[in-house]
Amino acid sequence: MNQSKIHLQPTDVLIVGAGITGLAHAAEAVARGLNVHIIDRDTRAVGASIRNFGHCCVGAQSGELLELATVAREGWLRHSELAGFFSVESGGLVVARSRAEVAVLEELAATRGSDQMQLINAAQVRQELSGSGDPAILAGALIRDDIRVDPREAVAKLAAWLAKQPKVTFSWRTSYFGTDSREPVSSATPDAETSHRTDVTVRTSRGTLTASRVIVCVGHDLDYVHPDVAEPFEVNRCSLQMALVRPAAPLTIRRAVLTGTSMLRYPAFAETGAAAELKKELAANSPELLAIDANLMLTQRPDGTLLIGDSHHTATTQDPFLIEQTQDTLLNATSKLLGMGSYTVLQRWQGIYASSPQQSFLIKDVAPNVTAVSVTSGIGMTISFGLAKKTFSQF
Ligand SMILES: Cc1cc2nc3c(=O)[nH]c(=O)nc-3n(C[C@H](O)[C@H](O)[C@H](O)COP(=O)(O)OP(=O)(O)OC[C@H]3O[C@@H](n4cnc5c(N)ncnc54)[C@H](O)[C@@H]3O)c2cc1C
């Protein structure tokens, strides 16, 4: 038998992509008692899902995104328990260092209720930042529902847990090329399970596979496989620069930390009336952050290191080069925010996610029983488990 080919029985669901979007859909299929086959072109997930902050950023969402994030939060906590990876109901901390930033927080807090979002004073913010912090800190907000995982551990352990489930198969190093038109599967021994199925034939680098339903979760590479879906939504690649830092003096920062630039990015803040003034203020006072389209934020991993980011640059094809000045801007701004003394940069990297100016995610039928799902904004860790429920509810 040719070892490079896969020979498998037709499956209920074939999922392409083992990032968080694909894995969350696989977990949903498992919960529904379905057979699942997950394929990925790599030997493990190395895309956006392991390059991020591990921040399930619930409280900064609004509308449907808030609903999806709230569902996803439960998905993370349940699977953290099942798969044995770190998660913490840490909540979030938003730091305000200007009147305009305070105004955004006050306006949102007035609509959210003090159980979900609590305004705190400068001394309390400093306490949250391990006792130090920028002298400019005026106030802050504690966001109740945000949680954190360590993305590198969580995605790997979720895949490993799924692989142990009786109805789940993984095929790594298997690239998806597309699907052929719908063909009825002829079964030599038709039975109740297979006689009614009309399967999709999937072309891969290891031969053809068949499944009743195919869900394509290839993240920012949707245009490579289904340009007909990606292009109408103007799906592009957004690249972000990140760093992993170990402070010389250990810090304990339990919450995911957001700042003024985050308030321009996440809808709950950006939709406030006060956000317009904040944008003007940041343009005047921190042009270097707006020049790299920064979302200055950080999370702490269980080993004490800090995930620090990030910049944003959108293009169809991204330069592979990290820009040192961008890193300097982010690290200097973080150092100032935390009042952090010396530190060691352990790693620097670029992450890329799918981005669409039209919508934050898409669930789109590509062909009968073939659905593309992509999070087209920087919130895949926040909504994927919720998105998976939404996708399946539409079948
Ligand atoms: C730096 C950075 C920070 C971020 N921070 C956060 C955050 O704090 N909170 C948050 O909610 N979101 C965050 N995001 C966004 C989040 O990481 C993404 O939305 C999410 O990871 C996308 O997951 P995915 O599974 O769709 O894509 P990916 O993780 O990129 O996975 C796609 C998978 O598809 C596979 N694949 C692609 N093409 C094929 C093919 N043809 N055949 C087979 N397999 C294929 C790839 O190998 C890959 O494993 C961040 C993103 C970045 C880059």
Query: How many C-beta neighbours within 10 Å does residue 232 have?
Result: 12
- Give mean pLDDT, residues 87-98: 98
- Band (pLDDT 50/70/90 cuts) for residue 253 is very high
- 378 and 261 in one domain? no
Element (H, E) at 214: strand 207-216
Predicted local distance difference test score (pLDDT) of residue 288: 97
- 291 and 255 in one domain? yes
Question: Can you spell out the DSSP letters for 226-281?
Answer: -HHHHGGGT-EEEEEEEEEEEESS-----SEEE-HHHHHHSHHHHTSTTHHHHHHH
Write out pLDDT tens, residues 338-377: 999 899 999 999 999 999 999 999 999 999 999 999 999 9
- 366 and 334 in one domain? no
Domain contains 1 = no
- Asked if residue 194 has pLDDT above 70, the reply is no
Predicted local distance difference test score (pLDDT) of residue 328: 97
- Band (pLDDT 50/70/90 cuts) for residue 2 is low
Ligand 1 centroid–CA 122 distance in Å is 36
Substitution candidate for ligand 1 out of 38, 41, 171 with most atoms within 8 A of CB: 41
Substitution candidate for ligand 1 out of 6, 53, 148, 312 with most atoms within 8 A of CB: 53
Predicted local distance difference test score (pLDDT) of residue 114: 87
Place of tokens 């992450």: 351
Which atom of ligand 1 is nearest the CA belonging to 55?
8
Which atom of ligand 1 is nearest the CA belonging to 225?
41
- Asked if residue 146 has pLDDT above 80, the reply is yes
Q: Comparing C-alpha atoms, which of 306, 273, 278, 307 is closest to residue 290?
A: 278
- 25 and 165 in one domain? yes
339 in Cβ contact with 137 (< 8 Å): no
Strands 297-300 and 306-309, bridge-based pairing:
antiparallel
- 179 and 314 in one domain? no
Write out pLDDT tens, residues 203-250: 999 999 999 999 999 999 999 999 999 999 999 999 999 999 999 999
- Report the domain count for the chain: 2
Domain contains 135 = yes
Tell the residue nearest (CA) to atom 5 of ligand 1: 52
- 170 and 302 in one domain? no
CATH number where 177 lies? 3.50.50.60
- Tell me, what amino acid is at 40? D
- 247 and 102 in one domain? yes
- 274 and 137 in one domain? yes
Predicted local distance difference test score (pLDDT) of residue 190: 46
Domain contains 227 = yes
Of 7-11, 63-67, 273-277, 381-385, the range with the lowest mean pLDDT is 7-11
- 214 and 160 in one domain? yes
- 170 and 24 in one domain? yes
Ligand 1 centroid–CA 164 distance in Å is 23
Q: Comparing C-alpha atoms, which of 130, 147, 129, 128 is closest to residue 90?
A: 147
Domain contains 78 = no
Which residues have CB under 6 Å of ligand 1?
Answer: 16-22, 39-42, 45, 47-49, 51-53, 55, 57, 175-176, 217-219, 221, 225, 240, 242, 309-310, 351-353, 374-375, 378-382
Ligand 1 centroid–CA 249 distance in Å is 32
- Band (pLDDT 50/70/90 cuts) for residue 5 is confident
Tell the residue nearest (CA) to atom 49 of ligand 1: 45
- Give mean pLDDT, residues 8-32: 96
- 275 and 220 in one domain? no
Percent of the chain residues past pLDDT 70, beyond the cut: 95
- Any idea what DSSP says for residue 374? E
Domain contains 58 = no
Predicted local distance difference test score (pLDDT) of residue 181: 61
- Band (pLDDT 50/70/90 cuts) for residue 196 is low
Predicted local distance difference test score (pLDDT) of residue 113: 87
Ligand 1 centroid–CA 395 distance in Å is 24
Of 2-6, 141-145, 303-307, 318-322, the range with the lowest mean pLDDT is 2-6
Domain contains 327 = yes
Tell the residue nearest (CA) to atom 46 of ligand 1: 17
Predicted local distance difference test score (pLDDT) of residue 9: 81
Ligand 1 centroid–CA 17 distance in Å is 9
Domain contains 55 = no
Percent of the chain residues past pLDDT 90, beyond the cut: 90
Angle at 375 between CA 369 and CA 376, to 5 degrees: 115
Substitution candidate for ligand 1 out of 61, 221, 262 with most atoms within 8 A of CB: 221
Strands 306-309 and 313-315, bridge-based pairing:
unpaired
More confident residue, 7 or 207: 207
Query: Average pLDDT of the chain?
Result: 94
Tell the residue nearest (CA) to atom 12 of ligand 1: 379
CATH number where 257 lies? 3.30.9.10
Predicted local distance difference test score (pLDDT) of residue 282: 96
Ligand 1 centroid–CA 159 distance in Å is 14
Write out pLDDT tens, residues 286-341: 999 999 999 999 999 999 999 999 999 999 999 999 999 999 999 999 999 999 98
Question: Which residue segment(s) compose the domain that 160 sits in?
Answer: 11-49+154-232+359-393
- 268 and 123 in one domain? yes
Domain contains 83 = no
